[in-house]
Structure 1
Amino acid sequence: MTQRWLDDEQQRTWRAWLTVTELLPRALDAQLQRDAGISHAAYVVLAMLSESPTSSRRMSDLARRANQSQSRLSHTVARLEDRGWVRRERSTEDGRGNVAVLTDAGWDVVRSVAPGHVDAVRAAVFDPLTEDQARALGDALGAIMERLDPDHSLRVRSDGG
């Protein structure tokens, strides 16, 4: 069987993807560090909690939504607890699992930081693109997600489920 190498266009695209996946988190981290003294990973945890109707999520669900391992999430939540932005409680559903709860102070952080974060995402990702390019990027990423997760078991539904 003959090895199929990436052609020149595929190689250019692949290397651009690698560069973007390195530079984008760095840029978003820099904005969040400057505006709130937190990492992008910590902000995502706060955002996922803020999007819950109860301002809380089971730790296992939060790890999946924040794209963090259980261990990394535990450390992130501990740092957020130290700042008074999150607290952990026992699940009232079964008493076994832990739930992370966004505090009022955490809500204040999300409300104050979110506009700058949205501006940073827009500036880094969408402003350089035409509407057609942005649509094509969304379509392309959707196709890749389908290939990587055909049964949708690894991702969170966009409707919050």
Structure 2
Amino acid sequence: MADSPAPADQPERAPSDDIGLLPAELRSWMQLLAAAGAIEQQLRSRVKDAMGISHDEFLVLCLLADQPGSCLRMTRIADLLGRPKTRLTYQVACLQHAGLVTKNSACGDRRGVEVTLTDKARTLLSKSSRPLADAVAEAIARTACVQRYTPLQYLLPTSQGSGEDTTEQKK
């Protein structure tokens, strides 16, 4: 195997040999995972540079920013992000220490904890979100091009250059 011209982690036969091995849904899922991975990789350092927080902490802020009242229960955040509650507790503590969120008892449930964005977080998000959104759009476009998977373009709010909402294009 050492004499093989292909790297060890690459298949020895052309990928087209097994084109029918995976159903289209699984192939699409794998392409979506690859796109998500490319976007996360693109954002990790940019989020740290722009906001001084980790990518996972940024995801918490984005979830809160997109909620009425900018508030969610800890259990709901953990569910939406697919993160263990113990890890989320650490992330929220870091955000709280930075003055970006507050924690309070949930109304009517002493055991529940609600997390709310602070004005400092709103200001930080408003300053940083446009360049980060542009980085997401770049990563989606690049991944779609590299994988020749045009449907990834529909993840963008507008199609490249047309200025039209993609929801209208799908109809």
How would you bin the TM-score normalised by the shorter chain?
0.5 to 0.7
Quote the Cα distance in structure 2 between the aligned partners of 1:75 and 1:39.
Answer: 12
The one of 42, 46, 49 equivalent to 1:34 is 49
Residue 79 of structure 2: aligned partner:
64
CA deviation after TM superposition for structure 1 residue 35, in Å? 1.1
Matched, 1:102 2:117: yes
Residue 91 of structure 1: aligned partner:
106
% identity of equivalent residues: 26
Which structure 2 segments of 5+ residues have no match? Answer: 1-14, 156-171
Structure 2 letter corresponding to 1:117: L
Quote the Cα distance in structure 1 between the aligned partners of 2:132 and 2:38.
Answer: 15
Residue 152 of structure 1: aligned partner:
none
1:8-39 deviation per Cα after TM superposition (whole angstroms, max 9, x unaligned): 3469x698777655543222101111211222
Q: Which moved more, 1:43-52 or 1:25-34?
A: 25-34
CA deviation after TM superposition for structure 1 residue 74, in Å? 0.6
Aligned length: 131
User: Closer, same or farther in 2 for the Cα pair 1:91/1:17, shift >3 Å?
Assistant: closer
Residue 150 of structure 2: aligned partner:
133
Asked which structure has the greater CA Rg, the reply is 2
1:105-153 deviation per Cα after TM superposition (whole angstroms, max 9, x unaligned): 11111111211111111000135547x8135876xxxxxxxxxxxxxxx
Query: What TM-score results when the alignment is normalised by the length of structure 1?
Result: 0.68
Query: What TM-score results when the alignment is normalised by the length of structure 2?
Result: 0.64
Residue 18 of structure 2: aligned partner:
8
Residue 45 of structure 1: aligned partner:
60
CA contact (8 A) 1:126 1:134 kept: no
